[in-house]
Chains A and B, each alone.
Chain A
């Protein structure tokens, strides 16, 4: 066998192995998605969006309470997390730059990004839920904010740093003060990237369950008081899917489907934005 033939055989073996692995991975993804879509669409009905939870066996039970609870918990987390994340990212990129403090914040937030979310849930349980004496929607939002913050902070930092320094210099050269350079030139240059980071941050926390079990807990009925325990799609799904009642299991599938589609669309929009930015 010549050297060239050996190389061709080795090449083919590696190619087959890597392609098979890729197909197996993809296979699981499509398996999950197809089971989810089949069961989810089957469980979906208009009344799911208009009715609250009900004891097993009752007709017309729905997910309205979980959808509204999810929306409120994630919404508050976003309203708090996004401005803080963007401001902190702005500090890192524009003020802290390569300073010791900035580098430390970067390292810490990288660690926080990979921290198990259940640990963050337990932490919020001890600082919010335990002193308050009960679970609450606020506590859920606090946990999700903590999870979201490092994601938005680091993407903002990265995206702002991608804005060429000559663009900043050009604005300074026209006599712009620093805050105007940042707000009018740097933010504009990075807006698509920062927006992508926000979407991916929301997508990340919207699927969290463990921290909510510790914080917002659950409620089988509609509650819009953030000071009280609150339903969320994820915890509702966990409860319904593991219950022995068939009608609840069906609602669990519906919740899984709605949640997945929401997160999938956020991810797709995020990716489209990234692609659009690269075209420029």
Chain B
């Protein structure tokens, strides 16, 4: 059984006996996983490649539904509702639970239209309101000063780090309650990485954050809670400072001291 620390904060998400099986696979990639996600905190998911951390992350906004034949079991509670329910409105879910990807995914349109994209989907058409919220989102994503004079320019012209912050601006512009980060800095240089990390810490005031990372130092730097996953199971969830200093599980200790992974 996994060692799970008592999460004292309010919960943003509650995973209960969750199982996930990819289309055509015999074995589930995630097995009977139970895990609380604290509200307005940063939860990092670490573990060796193939441990299921990205699979778990992509379950929170039901990204797996884009590809046929994938199978969920158990519960993921969000606002007291099981989001795995067949009746769940995925469009609504994804507006509430946003996602930032490994590689920047700026759309082939202007900087402004990128940020306005999600808001327009929500039905916001008023030009002044859009302008205000685009500016606010870009400011919150710490990229406003760099792009304020090129809002009408193609987003392709921005650097990788700028594009990633643009994607964060686009995601926070729709005011989600949870943001999922899938290795958001693995394609970026160290300076852009530290910029994104600072931004993530800043963002937890308004959203709950789950971040998958290959980089243990990153998990240690930014997160409040860290979950260590191995072979599709949660081995340990602890407060980050405790998990890295005094891990309760032997496997966790071996992983964070670099004995495998």
A-to-B contact residues, CB < 8 Å: 164, 166-177, 180, 184-185, 188-189, 280
Contacts and interface: CB of A to CB of B under 8 A. Distances in A.
B99 interface: yes
Given A172-B66, A172-B94, A188 B174 contact: no
A177 B63 contact: no
Contact of A174 (B102, B108, B174): B174
28 contacts: A164-B103, A164-B105, A166-B101, A166-B105, A167-B105, A169-B63, A169-B66, A169-B99, A169-B101, A169-B105, A170-B101, A172-B63, A172-B66, A173-B61, A173-B63, A173-B98, A173-B101, A174-B98, A174-B121, A174-B170, A174-B174, A175-B95, A175-B118, A176-B117, A176-B121, A184-B109, A185-B107, A189-B108
B167 A175 contact: no
B107 A188 contact: yes
Best-surrounded residue of B61, B94, B108, B121 (most CB of chain A within 10 A):
B108
Contacts of B156: 280
Nearest to B119: A174
A174 B94 contact: yes
Contacts of B103: 164, 166
Interface string B104-133: 010111000000011001100000000000
Q: Which of A172, A177, A180 has the most CB of B within 10 A?
A: A172
A173 B108 CA distance: 16
Given A168-B66, A174-B171, A188-B107, 17 more contacts: A167-B105, A169-B105, A170-B107, A170-B167, A172-B63, A173-B61, A173-B98, A173-B101, A174-B121, A174-B174, A175-B95, A175-B121, A175-B174, A177-B91, A184-B107, A184-B117, A185-B107
B94 A188 contact: no
Nearest to A192: B108
Interface string B52-79: 0000000001010010000000000000
Contacts of A169: 63, 66, 99, 101, 105
B80 interface: no
B178 to A, nearest CB: 12
A185 B98 CA distance: 17
Nearest to A180: B121
A103 to B, nearest CB: 15
Contacts of A166: 101-103, 105
B104 to A, nearest CB: 9
A189 B155 CA distance: 12
B16 to A, nearest CB: 24
Nearest to A189: B108
B105 A175 contact: no
Contacts of A172: 63, 66, 94
B186 to A, nearest CB: 13
Contacts of B107: 167, 170-171, 184-185, 188-189
B92 interface: yes
A185 B101 contact: no
A188 B108 contact: yes
Contacts of A184: 107, 109, 117
Q: Which 5 A-B pairs have the closest CB atoms?
A: A170-B105, A175-B95, A173-B99, A174-B118, A175-B94
A180 B94 CA distance: 15
B92 A175 contact: yes
A164 B92 CA distance: 24
A238 to B, nearest CB: 44
A91 to B, nearest CB: 15
Contacts of B109: 184, 188
**Which of B61, B66, B92 counts the most chain A CB atoms within 10 A?**
B66
A166 B99 CA distance: 11
A10 B63 CA distance: 57
B95 A174 contact: yes
A237 B45 CA distance: 71
Nearest to B93: A175
A92 to B, nearest CB: 16
A175 to B, nearest CB: 4
Contacts of A167: 105, 107
Contacts of B94: 172-175
B39 to A, nearest CB: 20
Contacts of B92: 175
Nearest to B167: A170
A174 B94 CA distance: 6
A169 B61 CA distance: 11
A175 B88 CA distance: 13
A175 B98 CA distance: 8
A228 to B, nearest CB: 45
A170 to B, nearest CB: 4
A167 B107 CA distance: 7
Nearest to A280: B156
